[in-house]
Chains A and B, each alone.
Chain A
């Protein structure tokens, strides 16, 4: 691919330079967290070195090879890459440091590189300034927080208002730090606006958290018990994750509706998000119609990539659902276990109290009770972490539904194109028939009409084709980005879960040691 284009400005087309540059590109993804943003002298010496021979693919970076590179990279993120070529400097200097520290090293340049058809060669083509500009445009420098749920109003008209805080250094926002109050239907309204604008062109718009009539009613009625506080907290966290996902998307970030949502103090109330409104019912009817249509569309898939990806997502969906159900069962049983343990601790304490024959026996019963308390602490911790895992799974189940929706839109687009083509064919046939038939009086006018129609449909066919290509291209890009995000999200959650598991284990261990010491002391006395 690169060999067909003009030689890159940063090298002279020799194989070695390509290899170097490939490493340079790999460099972005592996050393992002260690780079400085100053355009002047970077520190090449401090950068990790990589096993160049294993990763280079020669002058023509094939698609598969690139993937392998990136995979090897991810696996050996801490390995060293040595830089000694001066050509690397400009690339390094334009690399800004990320505002949000990721756990895995795949952030900034990822959206640029992930598509196989437009990768390293594109960067090579640009001049230094362009690269800088683009890299700056890709700065993921925006932090969103959702906090302070507050109940506003009374009775059935009450609602929870959440504070949405934004911290950013992006130029498109007027301030660098600001916050607004939003309610749940505002979030839903934002999602429906974004979805109507971007879904049908192939962008994966993150889905908003689900409505829950039961949960909200409890809150409205004013029940101040643990389940309603839990519900509010769950919702708050879900809203935060939703916004964070939405702003991570580079195209959606540019959207004026999103900006308005984040910035403006007053937002028009989104009424058609209510479940029982006219718009809601219309939505449901549309969904049903879509489902029926999907079954009837028979698409000739010319691109194996799409078929493969669809199958992959189908599998992933099934498995995530299964896992989610099992994790929910576990969370439920853990709750039960901690309740039972608390009950037992009480009984053990009472038993200890009644055993007043020997002070020793009482001490032992108390020890039993303390042990139970630790066990309970242990379970509560583990429960909290599983909950995080379970929420992630349900987020991704909804996200994959959005991805499937995008694929469906592509099918619909294809259908439209196909229909246009069929209609055009029919019109042409009609024209041909007319040419053959001999009806002089109607002919001229009819001929003109048909001519016009044919031109119209030709234009539609062309538009259909263009739309289809565009949506396919966008989907490829989006899916790549989605996959990257998914890997990152899962890995982060898994590591967090393990970390807290280890921590809890250490705490338990410490207390156990203490207790064991006490027991031995008591044993000796007896």
Chain B
């Protein structure tokens, strides 16, 4: 199924999660996207007046795997160890939606034509919404990179933006995925080991506090995200339930010849409206709440990763200190030990400084995003409630006669 999406201002729900005040010297956006059988092709458009680029405006076509490659390149780069790497966008997943559409297509004889049309419409809207969201996620990833003073200057980034050909990055095969999985386990084990290491004292209160905070925050936000998803899905389910009810009431109404006719028909209309309202509530919640929670869940994971790297650097520094002491007592190979220790110290301090800055940015970003989204959500719900009340009162008057 081929779908085009114009990534205009309306189609960027998740951009609202991230407050980007980049300067305009490098502007990146996804101007178009096409969904083919099982991949999505994004058209990444760049506008820049930086001297590095050959043109001021150019675009390339990229797929999801290439975004992941870029992300991994950043993560593996030692230079950026002290920065929060923006989380990679999730893989576009249309499976559930496609399955449902297929099931609907197989047909159910008890469903009337109007019901079928409505359900099909709902599913198509869902598909489109998922598509728009995935475009937005990919775009936000690129835009954060472009806005960050250090990250935007990465060579791989330029290649990603400019190189006209296919980057021939294949998706991770099973071995690599497994490798990645094992690496994560090793990482958490390592972290546990480091923290348990004797003599490793956290010198900075700021970081101690941040660590406890982030750990707790990450768990809770993950929890909230899951539950928000469940609520949103329940709302959608409810909205779908109204379809057969509305249809049954309509047919009851058309069969009646007495005063119940108007009542039933009007009630059918009401349920149709309620369905749209539930659908709107569900999508509002999805955009303003669920998506935001999900994004910050990933972002807080990235922040945790940063802290881990810093901790690792601290552990290395400690080890280097011990090695130096040992070398001094034995009075052998003091020089290399000294220079190694110097290196570790420098690295650690560099990491600490940038981490501090990054974490504070993270906090302000998070707070302003939450604020904006929650206020918008409340305003939307208020608007809906007001409109519904008017309509319901009008309907009641009509039925009372």
Contact = CB atoms under 8 A, between A and B. Distances in A.
Interface stretch (B80-88, B89-97, B155-163, B379-387): B379-387
Which of B262, B375, B386 has the most CB atoms of chain A within a 10 A radius of its CB? B375
Contacts of B393: 502
A71 B375 CA distance: 51
B227 A315 contact: no
Contact of B245 (A326, A337, A351, A498): A326
26 contacts: A75-B262, A75-B401, A78-B401, A315-B255, A316-B255, A326-B241, A336-B234, A336-B237, A340-B230, A344-B224, A347-B224, A351-B221, A356-B213, A360-B367, A364-B370, A368-B374, A486-B260, A490-B264, A494-B263, A494-B267, A495-B400, A498-B395, A509-B382, A509-B386, A512-B378, A512-B385
B231 A341 contact: yes
Contacts of B216: 354
A460 interface: no
A26 to B, nearest CB: 15
A344 B258 contact: no
Interface residues on A, range: 35 or more
A519 interface: yes
Interface string A396-436: 00000000000000000000000000000000000000000
Given A316-B255, A340-B234, A360-B367, A333 B388 contact: no
Contact of A76 (B231, B258, B401): B401
Interface in B360-383: 363, 367, 370-371, 374-375, 377-379, 381-382
A501 B401 CA distance: 18
A512 to B, nearest CB: 5
A361 B375 contact: no
Nearest to B363: A357
Interface stretch (B32-40, B246-254, B322-330): B246-254
Contacts of A526: 371
A347 B226 CA distance: 10
A330 interface: yes
B245 A327 contact: yes
A333 B221 CA distance: 25
Nearest to B234: A337
B258 A483 contact: yes
B227 A340 contact: yes
Contacts of B251: 319
A487 B262 CA distance: 11
Nearest to A348: B224
Contacts of A78: 401
Contact of A340 (B213, B231, B289, B392): B231
Given A320-B252, A502-B396, A516-B382, 18 more contacts: A319-B251, A319-B255, A322-B110, A323-B248, A326-B241, A333-B241, A337-B234, A340-B234, A351-B223, A351-B224, A364-B374, A490-B260, A491-B399, A494-B399, A495-B396, A505-B385, A512-B385, A523-B375
Given A315-B255, A326-B248, A347-B224, A371 B381 contact: yes
A271 B379 CA distance: 62
The B contact surface, by secondary structure, is helix
A312 B255 CA distance: 9
Interface in B289-310: 289
Interface string B202-214: 0000000000010
Contacts of B260: 486-487, 490-491
Contact of A501 (B262, B374, B392): B392
Contacts of B227: 340, 343-344, 347
Interface of B: 110, 213, 216-217, 220-221, 223-224, 227-228, 230-231, 234-235, 237-238, 241-242, 244-245, 248-249, 251-252, 255, 258-260, 262-264, 267, 270, 289, 363, 367, 370-371, 374-375, 377-379, 381-382, 385-386, 388-389, 392-393, 395-396, 399-401
Contacts of B220: 347, 350-351, 354
Q: Which secondary structure dominates chain A's binding surface?
A: helix
A343 B230 CA distance: 10
B364 to A, nearest CB: 9
A506 B396 CA distance: 14
A348 B363 CA distance: 18
A38 B363 CA distance: 79
A495 B393 CA distance: 11
Contacts of A487: 258-260
B258 A71 contact: yes
Interface of A: 71, 74-78, 104, 312, 315-316, 319-320, 322-323, 326-327, 329-330, 333-334, 336-337, 340-341, 343-344, 347-348, 350-351, 354-358, 360-361, 364-365, 367-368, 371, 483, 486-487, 490-491, 494-495, 498-499, 501-502, 505-506, 508-509, 512-513, 515-516, 519, 523, 526
List the 8 closest A-B pairs by CB distance, nearest first: A347-B224, A337-B234, A323-B248, A344-B227, A326-B244, A330-B241, A326-B245, A74-B259
B23 to A, nearest CB: 25
A312 B258 CA distance: 13
B396 A319 contact: no
Contacts of A365: 370
Contacts of A512: 378, 381-382, 385
B152 to A, nearest CB: 27
A203 B37 CA distance: 65
B370 A344 contact: no
Nearest to A323: B248
A76 B238 CA distance: 36
Contacts of B371: 360-361, 364, 523, 526
A358 to B, nearest CB: 6
Nearest to A334: B238
Contacts of A104: 259
B258 A499 contact: no
A334 to B, nearest CB: 7
A495 B396 CA distance: 7
B264 to A, nearest CB: 8
A483 B255 CA distance: 14
Contacts of A502: 389, 392-393, 396
Contacts of B367: 357-358, 360-361
Given A319-B255, A323-B252, A371-B378, A337 B385 contact: no
B224 A354 contact: no
A490 B256 CA distance: 12
A78 B400 CA distance: 10
A510 to B, nearest CB: 10
A27 B267 CA distance: 29
Contacts of A490: 260, 263-264
Contacts of B221: 351
A505 B388 contact: yes
B389 A337 contact: no
B269 to A, nearest CB: 12
